A = this chain, B = another copy of it.
């Protein structure tokens, strides 16, 4: 009976620990994703990783910048990215430049129009363990507001397809 009592205490203790670790609405063995809650200071001064254009609904022209930790990891081919790496994607409306087209004599020039959003990936293998060690952030430029939870929960499932490159799609442009 004494042994049984200890077992119950042990079970209760484990349940309590699991309860503490579990998110309010999640499964005990699956932590709720945490997101980057604020625009990170200084990102506009970071170095260039690459550029990108997305057609379709996104219709964006973008620049992907990295803080020094991320840039060093890219240049040294270090994977996974070390904690402290931050990648920022600055997105703008993909816009035909009438000014440049006049000079070229034909419509061929596309430049950033209004900025639309800024996205971040922040590497912290402890804090963001539930999402591959990356915290995802999305902020609308118009009002500075972050993406809502439903939207934010789409980040990691998509980035999981780039697991081989530590969940990062962007390659470094030389």
Binding site for B on A (CB under 8 A): 44-48, 50-56, 58, 61-63, 65, 90, 92, 94, 99-100, 102-104, 106-112, 115, 141, 158, 161-162, 169-171, 173-174
Q: Do A169 and B99 touch (CB < 8 A)?
A: yes
Q: Known contacts A100-B169, A169-B99, A174-B115; decide if A53 and B106 are in contact (CB<8 Å).
A: no
> Which residues on B sit within 8 Å (CB–CB) of A45?
47
Q: Do B54 and A62 touch (CB < 8 A)?
A: no
> Which residues on B sit within 8 Å (CB–CB) of A162?
103
Q: Do A109 and B161 touch (CB < 8 A)?
A: no
Q: Do A173 and B108 touch (CB < 8 A)?
A: no
Copies of this chain, how many? 2
Q: Do B56 and A53 touch (CB < 8 A)?
A: no
Q: Known contacts A54-B109, A108-B54; decide if A103 and B63 are in contact (CB<8 Å).
A: no
Q: Do B56 and A61 touch (CB < 8 A)?
A: no
> Which residues on B sit within 8 Å (CB–CB) of A174?
44, 115, 141
Assembled-state Cα–Cα distance A106/B102 (Å):
32
Q: Which residue of B lies closest to A158 (CB)?
A: B103
Q: Do A111 and B158 touch (CB < 8 A)?
A: no
Q: Do B58 and A51 touch (CB < 8 A)?
A: no
CB distance from A144 to the nearest CB of B (A): 13
Q: Do B106 and A173 touch (CB < 8 A)?
A: no
Q: Which 10 A-B pairs have the closest CB atoms?
A: A55-B108, A56-B108, A53-B110, A112-B173, A51-B51, A103-B161, A51-B63, A48-B63, A115-B174, A52-B111
> Which residues on B sit within 8 Å (CB–CB) of A51?
51, 61-63, 92, 111-112
